Amino acid sequence: MTDLSIGTASLSYYSNFLNKEESDFLFTSLQTSPYWRQDKVKVFGKIYDQPRLCFLVSEGSKGYSYSGLTLPPIPFDSQLLELKRKVEQVSGHAFNSCLVNLYRDGNDSNGWHSDDEKELGPNPIIASISLGIQRNFDLKHKNNPEQKRRIALEHGSLLIMSGGTQSDFKHQLPKSKRITAARINLTFRYIFDSL
């Protein structure tokens, strides 16, 4: 584990959370999932196609809402349930949902944002597994431009974000014209039914 914390953002990075065989198998399995969807999102009052595909896996019936979009959940299958248990063991935290994202190539991205939706609670813990092509993950403080970090997310890696990562910082997965291969990202989180 590498501690990449900055300011109030707690960041724990496990470069080989999954070995290459496990990572390759999971990546191939998820790529062919029938659940991928591309929804429209509202950003600064305008409607856009989300620049990636995604689906939500959850233990409950509650969807996950962000940017004017609510994703309906599908149940955990045995493969993702086992992965969730492994993440929980390493992180020491319980999760009840997983937002799965497919970035088809470097044109797909995720702009500056914080995962600070009310249903995630204050200072949520989010565990993010990366599969496929390595992509950069940028983090910047909301008010202090000197507090920033770029992390290269490797195939099979796990990044655990906690502390003030969501309340005090924003993060992004920027576009890159050099990248022509796909990346899949699984973000485990706990969604509260009511707060």
Residue with tokens 């969604």: 191
Question: What was the pLDDT predicted at 7?
Answer: 96
Per residue in 105-120, pLDDT (tens digit) is 999 999 899 888 888 8
Is 98 part of any domain?
yes
Beta bridge partners of 152: 136
Is 195 part of any domain?
no
Is 60 part of any domain?
yes
Question: What was the pLDDT predicted at 68?
Answer: 66
Is 194 part of any domain?
no
Q: How far apart are CA 107 and CA 79, in angstroms?
A: 29
Let me know: does 158 contact 90? Beta carbons within 8 Å.
Answer: yes
Is 88 part of any domain?
yes
In the chain, alpha helices (H): 20-31, 78-91, 165-168
Question: What was the pLDDT predicted at 67?
Answer: 62
Question: What was the pLDDT predicted at 183?
Answer: 98
Residue type, 64: Y
Q: What is the pLDDT along the chain (195 residues), one digit of tens a residue?
A: 999 999 999 999 999 999 999 999 999 999 999 999 988 777 778 888 889 999 999 997 667 776 667 788 999 999 999 999 999 999 999 999 999 999 999 999 998 998 888 888 889 999 999 999 999 999 999 999 999 999 999 999 999 999 999 999 999 999 999 999 999 999 999 988 754
Tokens of 68: 């004017």
Is 54 part of any domain?
yes
Question: What was the pLDDT predicted at 194?
Answer: 54
Is 175 part of any domain?
yes
Domains contained in the chain, number = 1
Let me know: does 35 contact 162? Beta carbons within 8 Å.
Answer: no
Q: How far apart are CA 55 and CA 71, in angstroms?
A: 7
Burial of 82 (0-12, 13-18, 19+ CB in 10 A): exposed
What is the residue range of 64's domain?
A: 2-189
Average pLDDT of the chain is 92
> Pairing relation of β-strands 73-74 and 53-58?
parallel
Question: What was the pLDDT predicted at 181?
Answer: 97
Question: What was the pLDDT predicted at 20?
Answer: 97
Question: What was the pLDDT predicted at 192?
Answer: 86
SS (H, E, C) 162-173: EECHHHHEEEEE
Residue 13's domain is classified under what CATH number? Answer: 2.60.120.590
Tokens of 160: 């655990």
Is 150 part of any domain?
yes
Let me know: does 147 contact 7? Beta carbons within 8 Å.
Answer: yes
Residue type, 87: V
Alpha carbon 73 to chain centroid, angstroms: 16
Let me know: does 34 contact 167? Beta carbons within 8 Å.
Answer: no
> Pairing relation of β-strands 157-163 and 148-153?
unpaired
Edge-first strand order for the sheet with 148-153 is 110-113, 169-173, 135-141, 148-153
